Structure 1
Amino acid sequence: MAKSRKLEELIDALNQIRSNPTSELGLITLRQAITSRYGVVAAQAAHLIAQFEIYLLLPELVTAFDRFLINPKDSDPGCRAKQAIAEALYRLEHSDETLFLKGIRHVQWEPIWGGQVDAAPKLRGTCALGLVRMHYPAAMIELADLLADPEPEARIGAARAIAYSEHELGVALLRLRVKVGDTPPVLGECLIALLELAPMESLPLVQELLQLSKKSAPDDLGERAEVAALALGESRLPEAFPILREWWQQTTNSDLRRTGLLAIATLRQDPALEFLLALIADGSLRDAKDALKALSIYKEDERLWQKIRQTVERRGDLLLDL
């Protein structure tokens, strides 16, 4: 009961200073929270320290991070405190290679029904960003290891950190990861990073994934083609539109065709939008519905949505019921 009351008191105290955590009372409360043995409380304190950029409490954050590495599955279940602290240190541009190296290499196995789960993959990705931001000399070696991490979430973190690094070696690492293969979310992040780091050199690789997927099993086709198409859409590259348009025109799978139109809409380019409007005006009813669905991402754009509405009304057999 005493433990429960202490935890509740600390949470209540944090709630009371949320509007002004930099006040004298706020700083005292944050120190009490970040130095407490409760991971959930320390995590909340770390979020506030980051949000209000309270550099004064950086030493307490570093000390707390090391403390929650001791017997971590009991002191910090779910890795919530260490993750929040690492995010705060990253946002506050703290340069501490020792801490970030501990984090990028930390694995925290916790029991679940029927086995164990690693609670630290997100932490490893956050610490990867920290190493990149501080220009750690051997950051690319750490990112290479992280890109081969057993956990998909950690590999996604590695891909994002490589993109953030803008390092030329990152292109080779990402291409290797794509060629070896991975889960759709990881492949998507790798392709997005490649199109950001080396757009012209990476376009043929993405196009190859679209084309080669036609020779794969149906499930493989859908996974590869979807992530490649969506990565092209997110790239916003002018060269991406003709690639997506040609692939969409050659694709017969209805789900993939819908994904292709969404990717085209995501480009946010005038030729791409005109193509979708033309499908609404003159395409088959199915294509018109899919194009309208893709363009629904622009519902908050009053001028464009009015143009879409007028095109739908002129067609006559389509409902604007999104």
Structure 2
Amino acid sequence: MAKSLKLEETLALLDRIDLDLAPEEAIAHLKQAIGSKHAIAAARAAKLASKANLHGLIPDLATAFERFMLNAAATDPNCIAKKQIAEALYRLEYSQEDLFLNGIGHVQMESVWGGKVDTAPGLRGICALGLVRMNYSEVMVELADLLADPEPEARIGSARAIAYAENPQGVPLLRLKVKVGDKDPQVLSECFMGLLQLAPTQSLDLIAEFLDRPEAQVCEMAALALGESRLPAAFPILRDWWRRTRNAELRQSALLAIAMLRQDEALAFLLALVAEGKLAEAKEAAIALDLYRQDRHVWQRICEAIEQRGDDKIQF
């Protein structure tokens, strides 16, 4: 591939790469694209290298990352290349801590209409995962700092990395974040799920407290996290919350979370609502049970519950 190729030509060439038909030629093209000054081309090539599990391109990816860190806003607007390269190195199990440490601390302010914006929070989150995967000795310190990052995307990345680490030291960090709160409900959601993964029994009551918060979105996030946990002990918590909740949207979220548990007791509760509950409750339960559409056995039971009710107003 000639060095004089323009960006459009480089991207077109990457689109035509077939590692099965001409592996050596394809790798040569990827190597040159990774070394290109064009951030978009380098990002595309990094993604292909990761997908094909090309460990031989790790040195080229690491070199490109450091190159795009220089005069970063000009050479790599929106952190496109650095983010994709860091993700590729993470997936390829790169084990040099300095690169990920540089990335987790990188802030890239770029001009936008009305001011400046940091375009690197996603990069910081990916580098957090990289440090966890390589078992970096001080990773929990880095994750604690990232959990207090000004950008919600970075805080979400930290919460995910803490859960990924499967380290008991992460539990106090997530509990503190939940107790202190966050302006972004999605951050709390990631903390809820992390706690239910790392310390399910001791976290149930804490997360249950958020079901009755004034902010409806926070209540919903707590409910869905409990549902996703599939913990049997979450069922009575969600059932009782549904019974005392008057907000129609939250009641639907409660039933969906109960369905997500995929527990026999929870399923029996929803089927009973369909067969014997008030019409509005039966309709809401049927909507939640749509989650089981691909499960032939459960779907048959749902259809039987509707037939038992004998009401054509309940339909899927």
State the TM-score, normalized to the length of structure 1: 0.93
- RMSD over aligned CA atoms reads 1.7
- What is the match of residue 193 of structure 1? 194
Encode CA deviations 1:72-110: one digit per residue, 9 max, x unaligned. Answer: 222111211111111111111111110000110111112
Alignment partner of 1:253 is 2:257 = no
SS at 1:68 equivalent: helix
Shift of 1:302: 2.2
| Cα distance change, pair 21–99 in 1 and its aligned pair in 2 (3 A) | farther
- What is the match of residue 30 of structure 1? 30
- What is the match of residue 139 of structure 2? 139
Encode CA deviations 1:254-279: one digit per residue, 9 max, x unaligned. Answer: 11111100100111111111111111
Q: Alignment length, in residue pairs?
A: 313
Pairwise mapping of residues 1-322 of structure 1 onto structure 2 (< 5 A)?
A: 6-20=6-20, 23-182=23-182, 183-211=184-212, 213=213, 216=214, 220=215, 222-319=216-313, 321-322=315-316
Shift of 1:306: 2.4
Distance 1:320 1:286 in 2: 9
Residues 146 and 158, structure 1, Cα contact 8 Å, conserved in 2: yes
Residues 19 and 27, structure 2, Cα contact 8 Å, conserved in 1: no
Residues 312 and 319, structure 1, Cα contact 8 Å, conserved in 2: no
Residues 283 and 314, structure 2, Cα contact 8 Å, conserved in 1: no
Shift of 1:224: 2.6
Instruction: Name the aligned partner's letter for residue 275 of structure 2.
Output: A
Distance 1:181 1:19 in 2: 48
Residues 18 and 48, structure 1, Cα contact 8 Å, conserved in 2: no
Distance 1:105 1:318 in 2: 59
SS at 1:48 equivalent: helix
Distance 1:253 1:21 in 2: 58
Identity of aligned residues (%): 57
Residues 259 and 289, structure 2, Cα contact 8 Å, conserved in 1: yes
SS at 1:168 equivalent: coil
- Greater alpha carbon shift after TM alignment, 73-82 vs 308-317: 308-317
| Cα distance change, pair 177–122 in 1 and its aligned pair in 2 (3 A) | same
Distance 1:21 1:46 in 2: 19
Shift of 1:19: 4.9
SS at 2:110 equivalent: strand
Distance 1:19 1:283 in 2: 58
Residues 233 and 267, structure 1, Cα contact 8 Å, conserved in 2: yes
Shift of 1:158: 0.3
Shift of 1:124: 0.5
State the TM-score, normalized to the length of structure 2: 0.95
Residues 282 and 314, structure 2, Cα contact 8 Å, conserved in 1: no
| Cα distance change, pair 89–106 in 1 and its aligned pair in 2 (3 A) | same
- Greater alpha carbon shift after TM alignment, 133-142 vs 3-12: 3-12
Shift of 1:18: 3.8
Instruction: Name the aligned partner's letter for residue 226 of structure 1.
Output: E
Distance 2:273 2:96 in 1: 54
Distance 2:40 2:313 in 1: 49
Shift of 1:318: 4.4
Distance 1:113 1:314 in 2: 60
Distance 1:245 1:4 in 2: 65
Shift of 1:314: 3.0
Shift of 1:131: 0.5
Gaps of 5+ in 2: none
Residues 262 and 295, structure 1, Cα contact 8 Å, conserved in 2: yes
Residues 50 and 92, structure 1, Cα contact 8 Å, conserved in 2: yes
Residues 293 and 299, structure 2, Cα contact 8 Å, conserved in 1: yes
Encode CA deviations 1:164-216: one digit per residue, 9 max, x unaligned. Answer: 111222111101100111121010100100011011111110122224x2xx4
Gaps of 5+ in 1: none
